[in-house]
Amino acid sequence: DVKVTQSSRYLVKRTGEKVFLECVQDMDHENMFWYRQDPGLGLRLIYFSYDVKMKEKGDIPEGYSVSREKKERFSLILESASTNQTSMYLCASSLSTRGGKETQYFGPGTRLLVL
């Protein structure tokens, strides 16, 4: 079974804090993704990575950065958290088998509240 874990289910931070969200997958997947999910807006891709140290911007990268130093770990960084970054953050991973059409497997999500 594919296992994607996220470091926290719930997180409360203050405006201006630096926030790290960690994601780990145990299936040797090449691709990893970070999404945020907001009511009425659905899921939106923030960043993804198709290899170690490689990253690509998604649809809403502003205010975020990512790090992938090891294949199994993909971190999302909020350099200076703002209240509009309060959201549900979902990490996903996929194996490169269908030329970019692979099934993505998701972690349990992190509900972040920025005060």
Partner 1 sequence: AQKITQTQPGMFVQEKEAVTLDCTYDTSDPSYGLFWYKQPSSGEMIFLIYQGSYDQQNATEGRYSLNFQKARKSANLVISASQLGDSAMYFCAMTISNYKLTFGKGTLLTVNP
Q: What residues line the site for partner 1 (CB under 8 A)?
A: 31, 33, 40, 42-43, 45, 48, 50, 56, 58-59, 88, 90, 92, 94, 98-109, 111
Measured from the CB of residue 65, what is the shortest distance to partner 1 in angstroms?
19
Measured from the CB of residue 81, what is the shortest distance to partner 1 in angstroms?
20
Of 15 and 32, the one with the shorter C-beta distance to partner 1 is: 32
In 29-72, beta strands by DSSP E = 31-38, 42-49, 56-57, 65-70
Of 28 and 40, the one with the shorter C-beta distance to partner 1 is: 40
Residue 83 — φ and ψ, nearest 5°? -60, -30
Of 25 and 94, the one with the shorter C-beta distance to partner 1 is: 94
**Helices vs. strands in the chain: H and E counts, helices first:** 0, 11
Of 14 and 110, the one with the shorter C-beta distance to partner 1 is: 110
Within 8 A by CB and 6+ apart from 30, the residues are 50, 51, 71, 94, 95, 96
What are the angstrom distances between the C-alpha of 85 and each of 3, 15, 40, 51, 63?
A: 26, 10, 15, 26, 9
Measured from the CB of residue 80, what is the shortest distance to partner 1 in angstroms?
26
Measured from the CB of residue 89, what is the shortest distance to partner 1 in angstroms?
10
